[in-house]
Amino acid sequence: MTWTLRLSSAFVVALGACITGIPPPETPRAMVTAPAPSAPAAVVADQSARPGAYSPPPRTKESACAIRGPLPDPTCTPGAVMTTDMNVVCQHSTKKRRHVSSEVHRQAFADYGFTYPQPLGSFEVDHLIPLELGGGNVIANLWPEAAEPTPGFHQKDKVENYLRRQVCAGAMSVADAQRPIATDWIKVWKQIEGLASTTDLGPSEGD
């Protein structure tokens, strides 16, 4: 009798659904939430670096500067920081503050013992800490960087683009990007060299 009653009840519910057009109630389904995408891990990492803002040392020499291969003289070009604000780095163009006068160009070449001007494309008066990573547009952050031998200023441009992309993806802070490019950008270039064909290094903001 109990089995018959249960069967009849199920039949009545199904029959009622067919007559009224109202589907029978469904069993609630568990909601599955996809995990939030994580920021890409930065290739560059300096385990010995102290956390916090990066402060370049002061400029202590203004002449007889000696280039160290692709790197500037740290006593003449220690770098300069304008900002560590990620919003400024990632949301604001550098076009309004990137002009370097011909006098400053001439000074940068003279400090390193080069005549001015040099053949077109052979040198670039480069910002050690690029403007696109919050660098300052002052002589302590400028030096004449050669295109050849490799790595030269073209390869440094790739490092700048890569680090800015890491910052704006949330993988590293602005200070953590400023520190390695100011002290030894060649190390970063060697780390990312193999990524150039498979990874978008990001759009260039210039030097």
Tally of domains within the chain: 1
Note the helical H segments in the chain: 2-20, 86-91, 102-111, 153-168, 174-192
Asked whether residue 50 is domain-assigned, the answer is: no
Residue 100: inside a domain: yes
Any domain includes 34: no
Residue 36 has pLDDT above 60, yes or no: no
Report yes or no on 200 lying in a domain. Answer: no
What are the tokens at 130? 């690029």
Residue 28 lies in a domain: no
Judged against a pLDDT cut of 70, whether residue 112 lies above it is answered with yes
pLDDT given for residue 1 in this prediction: 45
Residue 80 domain-assigned (yes or no): no
Structural domain span for residue 169: 86-195
- Residue 74 in any domain: the answer is no
pTM listed for this prediction: 0.74
Domain membership of residue 134 (yes or no) is yes
